[in-house]
């Protein structure tokens, strides 16, 4: 652990000139801070994001372990498992030279329309807090910094750069700030990211909340960085408790640099403010081992030995078995005949959502790969493809010009037509986000040229093209297919430009086995990133039938197979940073496909591969529904494990799965304002209030065994043998050293009783070992204040063999019984009702607790 002392840090600040200090306050480039030899500070590297550690390169040359989406992590409800994922990410960060991860994202699932829903944990602040604390501890105990983001109320994407969220104080405290509070106070987060949006009239990089809440109330001693390009004002941001403007350098991005120097010289910004900001940068550096003479935090446990195995088990533990009529699942391997694997998401692995959270995994396992690797007799039909964006060219069609494996050669040209650099690449997705310097090519690139061979596997019309922004010229065997400038949609956010830029395709008729030499030219200065980089993909679509033909083939396949497994879902272009969804329906004709396949084969399992809820109007017509999120690189293997019962579908819903779009909060601002008029009533709190039935309730998930809930005891004996007393979520509270003392217990304020201990006895009444998430909800029927009908107060994960009874202790934090009123946390004295069970809609055990 970091052995720095504060006096030493202050001494290092004191030797720096004003210019030196100001230089440190804006990034050196897209992903790094400036080094400062006079302070003994080396270059500190930051990197996205929640689903992996991307590093400084954003393409296939620097791959990263791709963990399941944060919604999946939360669906495990298993803090120990999430802590292990934090450790895995820390090992990845160290391997890739990353000091600080730009994660976790702890905004809430206010509405399922939110584009980054997949990247956040839950609609519930307590579940988000517990999972977030575990994630941050896992990372930081290994000496890698976490950046808790986006502070605060960045719960949707539309107009995220300019929208002002209007929210009442109680809702802000009880819902949206609660995860930040728990993570800052319990896990001692080393960095927080201020979001793009405003809250109640102040843009977050200038917001008084940074100082009043983070510094003054929570005693936060870490760093506040801006989201990328979110710093807008020189003085206002400097006076607020924003420490670091990202990205840099200042002459290209951000309003600090020389302007801040002038403001300090003019006496408009106090130099003491700069000192505090620099101190926080040095403290972060000390913690991650970036300061000379300070040991930094050292790994206390070895890196995970077997990343694939851990990712596979975590994905399986996150899958939610939402429906299983007639116990169709697990499939019995013995005697299992042909499996019809159907659906647009079955062949290409959809392992992550879009935007800054994307990483390049070393490999991915699609459902088709996974089921085949499990030795099943699988026949595949996509069923419907019409709605999918054309994918990047890939094997077996894409070859390097010399025919040596999948990939392409790239040459960079100067304005005078001279070749000034080259790269040999393994794929056809290209992203230079941090200049071209890493490849030794100067910034003055005029155009670049991608060369490859496309070889037809069958005769037919191939669609060849590009997606990106700027001018593209495509040639096939030296004939121009198109020469066109693609422009972004008016008002498009950079997230949208990156994930869903315009597409231009041209047809190419090829005979089976025919090869064609392809050249895609791109004029770099026409990119929106001109000078700093560019991004685009070479696209290729192999011949396929019309959707009607594909659907007919899939239905025939299902009818003639023993079982049908349909994998439907979304993609990283549908669920992404930078824009929200405007419909929760499955894209294209997927609903129709499910209905037709289920009608053709009653033994139909629908696998829903999405990071966030989608509508499932057919849910009552199919035997089994398995919700698998974006499952990370081991998705297909985990799917095979769960379908065959080799792993338990361990997930429980971290968010309500609505039956329709009725009554959901909107993500669309009105005149640059987004009012959280629903107040405390998001997710299950809203469904309860309105008496609406969701499709699948919060906390729901079946698993492969059955449980009886036998007893609940309040204020149980913490020392009772056989009763493991756990913090909510099942992680034993552990202190993480922070500067200046130990971590306060949760809840931090007011001090006093840590909470109420509840013991719940459950029995595995089925015939298989299983895993249950025991959930405890509180309510206050006679309350004098407006409250949800119930709210999650604690939970724990239990494992039990058939017939085994387990008693689990769950600590319900005192905060779970408090509400925010008149500027403080308050407890309404009296009796709270408690209910325990397997989901928010199945709570067989009840008790009461009287609090004063």
Residues that are catalytic: 227
- Output 243 or 634, the one with its CB closest to ligand BGC: 243
Question: Which of helix, strand or coil describes residue 188?
Answer: coil
Q: How far is the CB of 439 from ligand BGC (least distance, A)?
A: 20
Q: How far is the CB of 30 from ligand BGC (least distance, A)?
A: 8
Q: Mask of contacts with ligand BGC, 71-110, x by CB under 6 A?
A: -------------------------------x--------
From its phi and psi, is residue 609 left (phi > 0), alpha (psi between -120 and 50) or beta? beta
Measured CA to CA, the distance from residue 276 to residue 270 in angstroms comes to 11
Q: Sign (positive/negative) of CA torsion 333, 338, 343, 346?
A: positive
- Cβ within 8 Å of residue 486, ≥6 positions away: 466, 467, 468, 469, 470, 471, 472, 501, 502, 503, 504
ω into 105 cis (within 30 of 0): no
Cβ atoms within 10 Å, residue 492:
18
Q: How far is the CB of 100 from ligand BGC (least distance, A)?
A: 11
- Output 433 or 627, the one with its CB closest to ligand BGC: 433
- Cβ within 8 Å of residue 302, ≥6 positions away: none
The yes or no reply on residue 191 touching ligand BGC (CB under 6 A) is: no
Measured CA to CA, the distance from residue 620 to residue 618 in angstroms comes to 6
Beta-strand relationship, 563-569 and 198-199: unpaired
Q: Put the strands of the sheet holding 563-569 in their side by side order.
A: 320-324, 624-627, 604-609, 563-569, 339-342, 378-381
3-state class percentages of the chain: helix first, strand second, coil last, to nearest 5: 25, 25, 50
- H-helix or E-strand spanning residue 590: helix 590-600
Q: How far is the CB of 363 from ligand BGC (least distance, A)?
A: 24
Q: How far is Cα of residue 602 from the mean position of the Cα atoms in its chain?
A: 35
Measured CA to CA, the distance from residue 705 to residue 799 in angstroms comes to 11
Q: How far is the CB of 149 from ligand BGC (least distance, A)?
A: 6
Measured CA to CA, the distance from residue 434 to residue 750 in angstroms comes to 46
Residue 38 DSSP symbol: G
Of the residues 123, 124, 227, 634, which one makes contact with ligand BGC according to CB under 6 A:
227
Of the residues 40, 49, 104, 755, which one makes contact with ligand BGC according to CB under 6 A:
49
- Output 213 or 225, the one with its CB closest to ligand BGC: 225
* Tokens coding 661: 């779009």
Measured CA to CA, the distance from residue 589 to residue 386 in angstroms comes to 8
Could you tell me if 67 and 359 are in contact, meaning their C-beta atoms sit under 8 angstroms apart? no
- Cβ within 8 Å of residue 453, ≥6 positions away: 398, 399, 400, 401, 403, 515, 516, 517, 518
- Output 547 or 577, the one with its CB closest to ligand BGC: 577
Spatial CA neighbour of 736 closest among 126, 43, 187: 187
Dihedral of the CA atoms 251, 257, 259, 265 (nearest 10)?
Answer: -150
Residue 598 DSSP symbol: H
Among positions 148-167, residues that touch ligand BGC (CB under 6 A) are 149
- Output 48 or 521, the one with its CB closest to ligand BGC: 48
- Output 124 or 227, the one with its CB closest to ligand BGC: 227
* Tokens coding 455: 């070889």
Residue 150: CA atoms inside 13 Å, Cβ hemisphere, count? Answer: 26
Measured CA to CA, the distance from residue 354 to residue 572 in angstroms comes to 4
- Output 243 or 577, the one with its CB closest to ligand BGC: 577
- Output 196 or 657, the one with its CB closest to ligand BGC: 196
Q: How far is the CB of 234 from ligand BGC (least distance, A)?
A: 21
Q: Mask of contacts with ligand BGC, 322-361, x by CB under 6 A?
A: ----------------------------------x-----
Q: Which residue is nearest to ligand BGC (CB)?
A: 356
Angle at the Cα of 309 (from 308 to 315), degrees rounded to 5?
90
Question: Which of helix, strand or coil describes residue 597?
Answer: helix
* Tokens coding 585: 């329906």
Q: Give the total of residues touching ligand BGC (CB under 6 A).
A: 8
Q: How far is the CB of 577 from ligand BGC (least distance, A)?
A: 6
Of the residues 180, 228, 319, 832, which one makes contact with ligand BGC according to CB under 6 A:
228
Could you tell me if 573 and 499 are in contact, meaning their C-beta atoms sit under 8 angstroms apart? yes
* Tokens coding 280: 């926080």
Measured CA to CA, the distance from residue 340 to residue 377 in angstroms comes to 9
Q: How far is the CB of 114 from ligand BGC (least distance, A)?
A: 13
- Cβ within 8 Å of residue 804, ≥6 positions away: 763, 764
Q: How far is the CB of 116 from ligand BGC (least distance, A)?
A: 8
- Output 50 or 344, the one with its CB closest to ligand BGC: 50
- Cβ within 8 Å of residue 722, ≥6 positions away: 807
* Tokens coding 445: 């690139």
- Output 48 or 186, the one with its CB closest to ligand BGC: 48
Q: How far is CA 382 from CA 348, 466, 553, 594, in A?
A: 10, 23, 9, 12
- Output 86 or 730, the one with its CB closest to ligand BGC: 86
Q: Mask of contacts with ligand BGC, 394-423, x by CB under 6 A?
A: ------------------------------
- Output 44 or 346, the one with its CB closest to ligand BGC: 44
- Output 26 or 366, the one with its CB closest to ligand BGC: 26
Q: How far is the CB of 356 from ligand BGC (least distance, A)?
A: 3
Backbone angles phi, psi at 372, to 5 degrees: -70, -40
- Cβ within 8 Å of residue 127, ≥6 positions away: 74, 77, 121, 654, 729, 792, 795
- Cβ within 8 Å of residue 98, ≥6 positions away: 45, 46, 47, 53, 55, 92, 144
Q: How far is the CB of 113 from ligand BGC (least distance, A)?
A: 17
Q: How far is the CB of 47 from ligand BGC (least distance, A)?
A: 8
Among positions 579-638, residues that touch ligand BGC (CB under 6 A) are none
Q: How far is the CB of 164 from ligand BGC (least distance, A)?
A: 17
Of the residues 48, 78, 423, 648, which one makes contact with ligand BGC according to CB under 6 A:
48
* Residues lying near ligand BGC in the complex (CB under 6 A): 48-49, 102, 149, 227-228, 356, 577
């Amino acid at each position: 652990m970091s052995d720095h002392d504060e006096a030493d840090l202050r001494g290092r600040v004191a030797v720096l000139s004003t210019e030196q200090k100001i230089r440190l306050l804006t990034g050196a480039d897209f992903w790094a801070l400036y080094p400062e030899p006079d302070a003994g500070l080396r270059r500190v590297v930051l990197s996205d994001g929640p689903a992996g550690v991307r590093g400084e390169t954003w393409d296939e040359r620097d791959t990263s372990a791709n963990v399941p989406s944060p919604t999946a992590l939360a669906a495990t409800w298993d803090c120990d498992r999430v802590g292990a994922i934090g450790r895995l990410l820390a090992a990845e960060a160290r391997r890739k030279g990353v000091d600080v991860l730009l994660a976790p994202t702890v905004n809430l699932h206010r509405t399922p329309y939110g584009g980054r829903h997949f990247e956040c944990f839950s609609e519930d602040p307590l579940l988000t807090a517990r999972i977030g604390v575990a994630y941050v501890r896992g990372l930081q105990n290994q000496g890698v910094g976490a950046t808790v983001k986006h502070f605060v109320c960045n719960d949707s994407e539309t107009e995220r750069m300019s929208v002002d969220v209007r929210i009442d104080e109680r809702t802000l405290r009880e819902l949206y700030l609660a995860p930040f509070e728990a993570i800052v106070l319990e896990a001692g987060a080393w960095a927080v990211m201020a979001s793009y949006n405003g809250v109640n009239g102040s843009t977050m990089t200038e917001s008084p909340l940074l100082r009043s809440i983070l510094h003054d109330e929570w005693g936060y001693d870490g760093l506040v960085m801006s989201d990328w390009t979110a710093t807008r004002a020189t003085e206002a941001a400097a006076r607020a408790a924003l420490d670091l403007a990202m990205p840099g350098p200042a002459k290209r991005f951000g309003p600090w640099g020389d302007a801040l120097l002038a403001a300090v010289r003019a006496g408009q910004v106090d130099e003491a403010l700069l000192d505090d900001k620099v101190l926080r940068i040095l403290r972060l550096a000390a913690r991650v081992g970036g300061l000379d003479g300070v040991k930094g935090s050292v790994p206390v446990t070895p890196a995970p030995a077997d990343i694939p195995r851990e990712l596979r088990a975590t994905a399986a533990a996150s899958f939610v078995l939402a429906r299983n009529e007639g116990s169709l699942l697990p499939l019995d391997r013995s005697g299992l005949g042909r499996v019809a694997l159907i659906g647009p998401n079955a062949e290409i692995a959809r392992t992550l959502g879009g935007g800054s959270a994307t990483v390049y995994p070393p490999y991915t396992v699609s459902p088709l790969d996974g089921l085949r690797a499990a030795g099943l007799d699988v026949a595949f039909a996509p069923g419907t493809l019409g709605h999918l964006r054309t994918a990047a060219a890939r094997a077996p069609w894409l070859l390097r010009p010399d025919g040596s494996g999948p990939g392409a050669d790239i040459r960079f040209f100067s304005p005078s037509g001279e070749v000034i650099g080259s790269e040999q690449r393994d794929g056809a997705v290209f992203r230079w986000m941090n200049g071209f310097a890493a490849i030794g090519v100067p910034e003055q690139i005029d155009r670049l040229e991608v060369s490859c061979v496309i070889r037809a596997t069958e005769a037919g019309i191939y669609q060849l093209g590009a997606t990106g922004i700027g001018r593209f010229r495509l040639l096939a065997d030296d004939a121009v297919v198109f020469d066109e400038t693609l422009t972004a949609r008016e008002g498009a956010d950079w997230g949208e430009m990156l994930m869903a830029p315009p597409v231009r395709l041209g047809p190419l008729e090829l005979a089976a086995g025919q090869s064609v030499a392809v050249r895609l030219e791109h004029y770099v200065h026409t990119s929106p990133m001109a000078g700093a980089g560019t991004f685009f993909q070479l696209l290729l679509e192999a011949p396929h039938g019309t959707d009607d033909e594909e659907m007919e083939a899939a239905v025939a396949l299902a009818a003639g197979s023993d079982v049908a497994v349909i994998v439907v879902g979304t993609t990283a272009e549908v669920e992404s940073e930078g824009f929200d969804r405007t419909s929760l329906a499955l894209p294209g004709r997927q609903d129709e496909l499910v209905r037709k396949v289920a009608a053709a084969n009653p033994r139909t399992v629908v696998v829903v591969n999405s990071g966030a809820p989608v509508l499932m109007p057919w849910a009552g017509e199919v035997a089994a529904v398995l919700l698998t999120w974006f499952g990370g690189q081991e998705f297909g293997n985990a799917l095979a494990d769960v379908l065959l019962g080799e792993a338990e579908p361990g997930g429980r819903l971290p968010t309500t799965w609505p039956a329709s779009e009725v009554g959901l909060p909107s993500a669309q601002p009105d005149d640059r304002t987004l009012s959280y008029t629903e107040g405390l009533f998001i997710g299950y709190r809203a469904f309860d209030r309105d008496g609406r039935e969701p499709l699948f309730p919060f906390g729901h998930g079946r698993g492969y065994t059955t449980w009886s809930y036998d007893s609940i005891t309040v204020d149980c004996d913490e020392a009772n043998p056989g009763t493991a007393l756990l913090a909510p979520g099942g992680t034993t509270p552990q202190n993480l050293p922070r500067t200046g003392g130990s971590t306060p217990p949760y809840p931090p304020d007011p001090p006093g009783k840590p909470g109420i201990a509840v013991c719940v006895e459950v029995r595995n009444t089925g015939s298989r070992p299983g895993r249950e998430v025991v959930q405890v909800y509180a309510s206050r029927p006679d309350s004098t204040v407006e409250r949800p009908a119930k709210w999650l107060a604690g939970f724990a994960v239990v494992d039990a063999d058939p017939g085994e009874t387990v008693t689990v202790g769950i600590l319900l934090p005192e905060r779970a019984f408090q509400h925010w009123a008149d500027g403080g946390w308050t407890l309404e004295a009296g009796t709270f009702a408690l209910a325990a069970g397997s989901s928010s809609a199945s709570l067989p055990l009840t008790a009461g607790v009287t609090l004063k």
